[in-house]
Homo-oligomer: A and B are copies of this chain.
Amino acid sequence: MLQTGLAARLAARTGALAHPTSGLAPSYLQANLVVLPARHAADFRLLCARNPVPCPLLAESQHPGSATALRSHLAATGVTGATLAADIDLRRDAPRYRVYRDGELVAEKADVAAEWADDHVGFLIGCSYSFEAALAAAGLAPRHVVQQRNVAMYRTAVPLAPAGVFTGATVVVSMRPYRPEHVGRVREVTRPFGATHGEPLAWGWEALAQLGIGDLARPEWGDVCLTGDGRRAFCRDDSEGFVPVFWGCGVTPQEAVMRAGLEGTVMGHAPGHMIVLDVRDHEVFPGLVGSGEVAEVER
């Protein structure tokens, strides 16, 4: 089994791993990948710095063109590029990639070795898998995890703070349904995960208006998880009384890049097919106990 970040990366690199990485190598940090021409790197870095909740930047290529060495953006926590992933190849270590040319999706493939150019800069962005394990450990497993579905994701009307060429984008959120009396605990459990979206952006039915989300039953990505009357979807007991809880989502920076309509070749991982790193949650998030074990889940 693929129990470490390195095992997952090597499997992806050799073509042995081609499916989504959810559940792989528990407690090892997983990352979204965005690859841009170097001339847009400064603007993208600024976009992440100005919007750290939906766009938590973990690391980037050591220098333009480098696919095998990382420069850490978590220096304040003592996590270096080599700690994040010592043996890494950004061109091959995601199980699946998407390639865009002049803003159009042109290919989905197992590696991007042929597309990677001397001026490409890879960016790794935090992913919510980390706090989902912590929620499960607290007896608050997200519904989609229990049901082995994709988390529901929505475009909001909340403007992203622009940065250079990256203008006009809005925040994308993921949604997990909880009972109102559990929201306080859910906020506490996810709060320490600053590099992977942290505590929720909004919760309760009033959050729909605050965020500008029209219809819970129509997520832009992922599976429907909660109906408008507080019933959870795909739910045997059909129980009521749940409210939506929204977090910043790592799809946000990809959306911002697509919306910028950049010329040239832009790449990223295929949704759900993340790059798994060497660091574990408790090394990045001080104060967490080092465990990826999942305790009894909420049913």
Residues of A within 8 A of B (CB): 46, 49-50, 52-53, 157-159, 161-164, 187, 191, 194, 198-202, 210-211, 248
* Majority SS at the chain A contact face: mixed
Q: Is the Cβ of B248 less than 8 Å from the Cβ of A161?
A: yes
How long is the Cα–Cα vector from A158 to B50 in the complex, in angstroms?
A: 15
20 contacts between A and B (CB under 8 A): A46-B191, A49-B52, A49-B194, A50-B194, A50-B198, A52-B52, A53-B161, A157-B210, A158-B159, A159-B210, A159-B211, A161-B198, A161-B201, A161-B248, A162-B187, A162-B199, A163-B191, A163-B199, A164-B191, A164-B199
Selected contact of A53 from candidates B50, B164, B201, B202, CB within 8 Å: B50
Kindly list chain B residues whose C-beta atoms are within 8 Å of the C-beta of A199.
Answer: 162-164
How long is the Cα–Cα vector from A159 to B53 in the complex, in angstroms?
A: 12
Kindly list chain B residues whose C-beta atoms are within 8 Å of the C-beta of A158.
Answer: 158-159
Q: Is the Cβ of A162 less than 8 Å from the Cβ of B200?
A: yes
Ranked 9 nearest A-B pairs via Cβ: A53-B161, A159-B210, A50-B53, A161-B201, A158-B158, A159-B202, A158-B159, A50-B52, A52-B52
